[in-house]
């Protein structure tokens, strides 16, 4: 019997079916060991020796693999065909070697698609482990460990509120912060455009003013309303004749099939997927045998796939849509692993696979790959100029016509910033004609700041700079979100206070290590390791030689010195020039003290030098915005019944109201949707929870309040969500009873409800039904026997059946949950007393 090891159970099940008797296929469930998160796991003084530790939750999988390996005639390592896959195979081999269970014969096989032909063909072409790829993995893992475990302690001691920093994540964060600075420094500029709606041959078209009073009109030329109105009047009074028509044919070629970075970008643009969700869905499609391997830098397809695509195009369209010669693409990505195909369907005859997000992503892959082997689109771009009788006022109309759609009949690539002008259609225009003028408009505009990065545009920028590698982008973006360094608003990244402060700290004290050029060069060196052109230990030595002394130098500085340096570094943003010659640091509250950056227990803030006499403070993230500053507690008035003072205050988690002092004080946060705060609202907030009344069936009270997750109703251990703060004070008995009943049926997703949020399907191995549930401490999955909490990085609405099954299996491998009091020392159990006869 031969033992085959792969990463996932779904992959194992499919491959075992393909291979038949004589093979046993087991899953490792991803990586089986890693560097333990403690000092000393990498020793730079001993040639960067690494101390690996197996994951506790992989004990069951490793035991199963070990037991099978002891009786196997050969071990076949069939993990994914990339650096991480090579590393997993290496780790499995090392663990078996350590346990003295490694078969005498070990082979490594890789396949780009999980189809019977691809798997059986790969089995006939075994090789050994790729030591260069393993060295590259070790170099990257050691590098990331050394940066994290050397830099993070510096952050914890010198930068209050900072969590940690990563080698590539910090550079990606800098891009986001730099763009936010550009947005904040941007000053909008007014400009006007003048256009005429014309008509020719019964078709309307738009012509824009490009010359006025003999002068050329650029976008910002008309800067005020008076000039715009004068230009509009000139167009209205003029009689315009077509002076010239210029037609230029052009060709658009199809884009290449997807690679990892481009599928992330296009799925974000067209489907609204995050990079991590795209990769999870693509992984499922790959393991289902629907598409080829999704972590790849290659953009070309195998010869047999190209032939299949061309046949599919001819069958679906006609021979005119098939180019004379097959198209071959070359990637522009650095260190592209050309041995890996582009992402494509395994069968071009299958235009659908799966449903929901899986079906949508498959459709995108299928269309893109098929379009890559279609004929070019032939278009015609037309530009017509219309002049008045004087020739001093000129309009221009532009548009394009599709002469032959070619690949556009199936697929058109998305854009981050679409250009509407290109899609405009024009009627047939001839020189000397005088189109009818129907309407003239003058529109005011303002220049816009550079757009914040979306996931798609950030991935594109990282790829352009050569920072990170396509297979790591999803993890980079997810890490920034998990550490709360950034947030997404309308699918655009905005840095949080902690992210801005971290970036400022790194730019000021570790500028080299967050520079784009240095990070890109280091990536190239690591690529040289994977290509066998560089020694991994020498690459690490060169980095460590400069990095270690730098961190030691910063560690010697006092926190106050660090804050003072950051205050100076951030001065242009924290205290921008007011333009009137006044001191930008002058305290707006007392008019005497000067503002400066301070470090507190929970992070940085701006405060007055006259503290404690002047209590003016401003959150770090507010830059120079004094309107949002906190000048100290604000007295709202006295409670109508107790007469106690009620204050509005600002704390670590934002604004709140307070009544009383010390332990007896009552406090309530101020919800964002509460509206304008006054004494009446403050009294209401402090009175929560509000008793709606007794439930007509149980006689037990129903209360309304605001909790960690927002406004809610509570009754007898059951909960129902409320739409907003207003409902906390307005919901009556009838509405409350209905909401609670609806929640118990699952409509309101009450925490006490036992209805599943979603039935995911049967467990791939046990066939038990897996359900997604809402629990007291958040969502979890269950198969009826084992419950597994969803990690924060996994969105419930994006959870797949395979991910749920893996969570349940990993939880089951840990054994039953510890009982309360398990940690207490107890004496030996006394034997039961014998019964008297």
DSSP structure class, residue 580? S
* Positive or negative torsion for Cα 253, 254, 256, 261: positive
DSSP annotation of 96 reads: H
Is the CB of residue 73 less than 8 Å from the CB of residue 2? yes
Angle at CA of residue 671, ends 669 and 674, nearest 5°: 125
Contact partners, residue 836, CB within 8 Å, separation at least 6: none
| Calpha distance 553→155 (Å, rounded) | 13
Concerning whether 656 is annotated as a catalytic residue, the answer is no
Quote the strand ranges of 275-427, DSSP E. Answer: 377-387, 394-404
Give yes or no for a contact between 286 and 484, defined as CB atoms under 8 angstroms apart. no
Kind plus residue range of the DSSP H or E element containing 637 = strand 634-638
According to DSSP, residue 665 is labeled: -
Q: Are 756 and 799 in contact (CB under 8 A)?
A: no
Among residues 163, 144, 155, the alpha carbon closest in space to that of 510 is found at: 155
- Check the CA dihedral 525-529-532-537 and report its sign: positive
Q: Which helix (H) or strand (E) holds 692?
A: strand 690-694
Establish whether the linkage from the previous residue to 201 is cis, with ω within 30° of 0.
Answer: no
Long-range contacts of 829-835 (CB under 8 A, 24+ apart): none
Using an 8 Å Cβ cutoff, are 252 and 379 in contact?
yes
Contact indicator for 740, 720 with CB cutoff of 8 Å: yes
Q: Reading across the β-sheet that carries 778-782, which strands appear in turn? A: 758-762, 769-775, 778-782, 787-789
Which of the residues 293, 453, 473, 513 is marked catalytic?
293
Contacts 24+ apart (CB under 8 A), 226-230: 227/192, 228/192, 228/194, 228/442, 228/444, 229/442
Take residue 259 and report the two structure tokens written for it.
Answer: 């690679």
**Which residues form the catalytic set?**
293
């Amino acid at each position: 019997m031969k033992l085959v090891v792969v990463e996932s159970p779904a992959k194992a099940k499919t491959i075992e079916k393909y291979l038949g008797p004589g093979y046993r296929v087991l899953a490792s469930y991803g990586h089986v060991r890693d560097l333990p998160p403690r000092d000393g796991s990498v020793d730079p003084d001993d040639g960067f020796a690494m101390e690996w530790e197996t994951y506790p939750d992989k004990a069951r999988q490793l035991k199963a693999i070990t037991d099978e390996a002891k009786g196997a005639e050969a071990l076949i390592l069939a993990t994914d065909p990339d650096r991480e896959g090579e590393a997993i195979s290496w780790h499995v081999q090392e663990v078996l070697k350590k346990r003295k269970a490694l078969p005498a014969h070990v082979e490594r096989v890789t396949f780009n698609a999980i189809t019977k032909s691809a798997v059986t063909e790969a089995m006939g072409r075994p090789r050994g482990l790729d030591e260069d790829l393993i060295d590259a993995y070790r170099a990257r893992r050691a590098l990331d460990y050394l940066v994290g475990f050397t830099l993070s302690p510096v952050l914890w001691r010198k930068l209050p509120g900072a969590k940690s920093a990563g080698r590539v994540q910090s550079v990606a964060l800098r891009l986001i912060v730099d763009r936010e600075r550009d947005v904040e420094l941007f000053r909008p500029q007014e400009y006007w455009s003048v256009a005429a709606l014309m008509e020719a041959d019964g078709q309307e078209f738009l012509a824009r003013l490009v010359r006025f009073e003999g002068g050329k009109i650029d976008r910002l030329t008309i800067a005020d309303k008076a000039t715009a109105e004068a230009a509009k009047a000139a167009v209205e009074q003029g009689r315009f004749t077509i002076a010239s028509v210029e037609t230029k044919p052009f060709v658009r070629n199809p884009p290449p099939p997807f690679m990892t970075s481009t599928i992330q970008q296009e799925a974000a643009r067209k489907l609204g997927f995050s990079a991590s969700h795209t990769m999870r869905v693509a992984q499922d499609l790959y393991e289902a045998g629907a598409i080829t391997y999704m972590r790849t830098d290659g953009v070309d397809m195998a010869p047999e796939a190209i032939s299949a695509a061309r046949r599919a195009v001819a069958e679906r369209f006609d021979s005119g849509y098939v180019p004379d010669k097959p198209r071959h693409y070359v990637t522009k990505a650095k260190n592209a692993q050309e041995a890996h195909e582009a992402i494509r369907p395994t069968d071009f005859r299958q235009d659908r696979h799966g449903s929901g997000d899986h079906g949508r992503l498959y459709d995108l892959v299928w269309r893109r790959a098929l379009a890559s082997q279609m004929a070019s689109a032939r278009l015609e771009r037309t530009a017509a100029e219309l002049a008045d009788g004087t020739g001093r006022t000129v309009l221009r109309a532009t548009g394009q016509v599709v002469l032959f759609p070619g690949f556009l009949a199936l697929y058109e690539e998305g854009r981050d910033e679409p250009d509407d002008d290109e899609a405009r259609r024009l009627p047939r225009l001839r020189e000397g004609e005088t189109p009818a003028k129907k309407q003239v408009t003058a529109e005011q505009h303002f220049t816009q700041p550079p757009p914040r990065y979306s996931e798609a545009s950030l991935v594109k920028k990282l790829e352009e700079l050569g920072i990170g590698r396509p297979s790591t982008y999803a993890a980079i973006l997810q890490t920034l979100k998990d550490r709360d360094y950034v947030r997404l608003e309308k699918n655009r990244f905005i840095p949080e206070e902690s992210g801005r402060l971290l970036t400022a700290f790194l730019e000021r004290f570790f500028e080299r290590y967050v520079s784009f050029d240095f990070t890109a060069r280091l990536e190239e060196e690591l690529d040289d390791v994977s290509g066998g052109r560089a020694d991994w230990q020498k690459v690490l030595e060169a980095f460590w030689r400069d990095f270690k002394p730098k961190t030691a130098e910063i560690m010697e500085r006092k926190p106050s010195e660090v804050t003072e340096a950051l205050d100076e570094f951030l001065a242009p943003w924290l205290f921008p020039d007011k333009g009137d010659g006044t001191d930008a640091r002058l305290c707006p509250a007392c008019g005497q003290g000067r503002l400066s950056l301070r470090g507190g227990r929970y992070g940085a803030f701006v405060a007055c030098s006259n503290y404690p006499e002047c209590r003016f403070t401003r959150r770090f993230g507010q830059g120079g915005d004094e309107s949002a500053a906190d000048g100290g507690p604000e007295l709202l008035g006295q409670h109508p019944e107790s007469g106690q003072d009620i204050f509005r205050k600002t704390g670590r988690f934002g604004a709140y109201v307070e009544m009383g002092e010390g332990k007896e004080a009552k406090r309530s946060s101020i919800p964002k949707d509460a509206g304008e705060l006054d004494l009446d609202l403050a009294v209401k907030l402090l009175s929560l929870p509000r008793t709606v009344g007794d439930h007509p069936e149980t006689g037990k009270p129903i209360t309304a309040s605001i909790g960690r997750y927002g406004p809610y109703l509570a009754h007898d251990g059951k909960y129902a969500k409320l739409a907003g703060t207003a409902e906390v004070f307005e919901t009556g008995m009838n509405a409350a009873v209905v909401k609670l009943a609806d929640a118990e049926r699952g409509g309101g997703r009450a925490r006490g409800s036992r209805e599943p949020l979603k039935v995911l399907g049967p467990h791939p191995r046990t066939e038990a039904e897996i359900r997604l549930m809402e629990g007291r401490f958040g969502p979890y999955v269950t198969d009826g026997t084992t419950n597994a909490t969803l990690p924060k990085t996994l969105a419930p609405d994006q959870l797949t059946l395979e991910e749920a099954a893996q969570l349940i299996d990993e939880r089951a491998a840990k054994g039953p949950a510890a009982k309360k009091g398990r940690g207490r020392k107890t004496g030996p159990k006394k034997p039961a007393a014998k019964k008297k006869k």
